[in-house]
Structure 1
């Protein structure tokens, strides 16, 4: 039996070998695990409003993926008439819950299950769910300024969403919708989110559960080595690289939102979510 004390390079080699021997999935940090079974958002989630018709816990078995509860999010058809902004007609509907993990991380994986209602129909455009990068000294920096390009020190956002596609039933084709300092300018002179679509195209169906997982890796400040990726039911359908998400480490990934914003709403639109995991490593579908 060896009873001596290992010092110097020998100790470093042993510690390195032990670290390598432990799988990354074991070393990964679980930031949040949410199955909605406790029927409470308190201390974990913020909600757009207290209106339970917009969002609430779901216990009807046909809309629960596992256990006894999921969470329902509904964008209600507005009572107000349409109005015009920048030449487009709007009749907006919105609903969301969001969770913070401050000060934040440089790489985050988010795995969740979702199902769109059988009658889901979002019209020409919607925004769904995703990650935000806010300043660690001012988390509110991540909000507002739609149509403006991020500076590299104020914010970045990227969300997963099904895009309306002519000739296909809703919800539509899966894509990323992203704001970052090197995004392209839109035809109207604004900087609306840039889309990154799956190739080959991937279309969602209504009325069934999907396993989604997205990953965002931040760049070293000033470099173009950031990434984002999306898996559906364990299959990677989008992987984009060479992002300059930020120019300062003051920006971190620190907010996740389940949302549903519809530009021109003509009906109530609903989806359900269940079995969320936010982690620093790939999670994957449940068996």
Structure 2
């Protein structure tokens, strides 16, 4: 089968209309109760969901929930991660597939509850390249340039071991756990150990975050030309560019492209949460181009529902195609 389906375009005044050329491939303001199921409709993210036979998320992961919050930066609802003392919870997260691309920008809001203790690494919104999309690189194993790479936004505790400089660093006095250092934790071909490299802010003075306030995080990951050291990553914090690293080798083959996103609140890796405490996220967005403030302000659920063109599987629900996109054979 190689058919195409066409559909009547929605009104141009709709800020959440399907616009295949505007670059936005994933967006949710969390305002709809079942946003995570809508996101799966016709999406290869259904392949990454753990529920059979339809492979659609039927519920929230453990210790993750959608809650109303008066101080939400957009709308009324946010995503809540419940950290449990002495654990890595929540250990699972929503993960969805994206159209294959060599570059993605991803942006969202995050807040740590007032008085949060930053004693451990806190992982957040992540971008992946899986080849094939169902492949997962074991933790601590080096990527080989053909199978998988990723970049996580990660909040580091006061004192942590930098595997690039082979040094343990502290930015506050020992024992002070009221601030955190945002880094991009990336797997790439030249990482110093089997585990990924924590890229630090390299523009101006580092921005450290504290609890009880919403932070606007905006990231970019660009794949290198195969076998050339021209990959890039960027991080903006509250609209200010704080990180830009270049010369990174992520891949050796063109097939290894960005194709998945994960929305998580995992606490790890060698330590666990110091106490029961909460993290809140709001307004996730992924695009192939820079996410402007105007674009980010739109409260939308998924803008486009695509598939990974390398895997031949049936859609969940009752549809095999998305308007304007060729169906798989």
TM-score range, shorter chain: 0.7 to 0.9
1:273 has 2:278 as partner = no
The reply to whether residue 98 of structure 1 matches residue 101 of structure 2 is no
* Residue 132 of structure 1, CA deviation: 0.8
Taking a change above 3 Å as real, the CA distance of residues 119 and 96 of structure 1, as seen in their structure-2 partners, is farther
- Superposition deviation, residue 269 in structure 1: 3.2
Structure 1 pair 50/196, CA: closer, same or farther in 2 (3 Å)? same
Aligned length: 240
The equivalent residue for 1:198 is: 201
Structure 1 position 162 matched with structure 2 position 171 = no
CA distance 1:178–1:56, shift in 2 (3 Å): same
Q: Relative to 1, partners in 2 of residues 1:117 and 1:60: Cα closer, same or farther, differing over 3 Å?
A: same
Structure ranking higher in strand proportion: 1
Counterparts in 2 of 1:244 and 1:144: CA distance versus 1, 3 Å: closer
* Residue 39, structure 1, aligned to residue 48, structure 2: no
Q: Which runs of 5+ in 2 are unaligned?
A: 1-19, 41-48, 51-56, 160-171, 298-329
Q: Structure 1 residues 285 and 271, CA, compared in 2 at 3 Å: closer, same or farther?
A: farther
The TM-score normalised by the length of structure 2 is 0.67
Structure 1 residues 161-180: aligned runs within 5 Å: 161-166=154-159, 167=172, 168-180=176-188
1:278, CA displacement in angstroms? 1.0
Q: For the Cα contact (< 8 Å) 1:75–1:95, is it kept in 2? A: no
- Map 1:210-229 to 2 at 5 A: 210-229=215-234
Q: Which has the larger radius of gyration?
A: 1
Change (3 A) 1:113 1:260: same
Contact 1:211 1:285 survives alignment (8 Å): no
Q: Secondary structure of the equivalent of 1:249? A: coil
How much is the aligned-residue C-alpha RMSD, in angstroms?
Answer: 2.4
3-state secondary structure, aligned to 2:264: strand
Is residue 69 of structure 2 the alignment partner of residue 60 of structure 1?
Answer: yes
Structure 1: distance between partners of 2:58 and 2:82 = 12
**Structure 1 spans left out of the alignment, 5+ residues:** 1-25, 79-90, 186-190
Structure-1-length-normalised TM-score: 0.76
Q: Which portions of structure 1, spanning 4 or more consecutive aligned residues, are displaced by more than 4 angstroms?
A: 45-53
Report if the CA contact (8 A) 2:81-2:265 is conserved.
Answer: yes
